[in-house]
Amino acid sequence: MPIVSINNTVISDRLNEIEILLQDSKKWAAADPGLASQLATFIDVYLLGVIEESFELLVKQRASKSKDPEVENYIAQDIKHTFRNPCRANIVRILGKFSDSYATSFCSKFPVKCAEMDALDAVLGHKTNLAHKGTFQLGLTLEDVEKYLAQIVTVFETLEQILS
């Protein structure tokens, strides 16, 4: 039974995979907080990659509605090079390229300060901190990543609605 309620099966499968990995990691690291932190860090970075790829996929699917292969190709190439380090501002910027109403809809659902955007910022921040400070400075837990995942799912449910 799927844990994630997103219609796009590629995105749903990837997010469900992360949920399963979190549950498995809790078992593997039940007696080892250091291992749990390392696993949480890995899953956090993995989640960030899934966020990037999933947003790109939704944008490409929206572009396919044009039924113009050249437009689809342009958008696919553009999104591949312009959407890294996902944050609210980048999402709003790309949605706004399609339609101001897309950006407005997203902003009304997710103000700058809300749990979902805090989760997105945290996932990105942990990846950045990992690259510059190492794992011992993070103090990330599997429970933290589990909370972030739940918030990120809400973001993708909304993005799927907006871009469908």
Q: Spell out the domain ranges in the chain.
A: 9-163
Q: Chain-centre distance of CA 126, in angstroms?
A: 13
Residue 127: partners with Cβ closer than 8 Å, 6 or more residues away: 44, 45, 48
Supply the pLDDT for residue 131.
81
Cβ proximity of 137 and 129 under 8 Å: yes
Cα distance between residue 102 and residue 108, in whole Å: 10
Per-residue pLDDT of the chain (164 residues; tens, 9 = 90+): 346 779 999 999 999 999 999 999 999 999 999 999 999 999 999 999 999 999 999 999 999 998 999 998 999 888 888 888 889 999 999 999 999 999 999 999 999 999 999 999 999 998 888 888 776 666 889 999 999 999 999 999 999 999 99
Supply the pLDDT for residue 76.
87
| C-alpha dist (Å) from residue 35 to 46, 71, 136 | 16, 46, 11
Cβ proximity of 12 and 153 under 8 Å: no
**Residue among 5, 16, 20 at smallest CA distance from 158:** 5
Supply the pLDDT for residue 135.
65
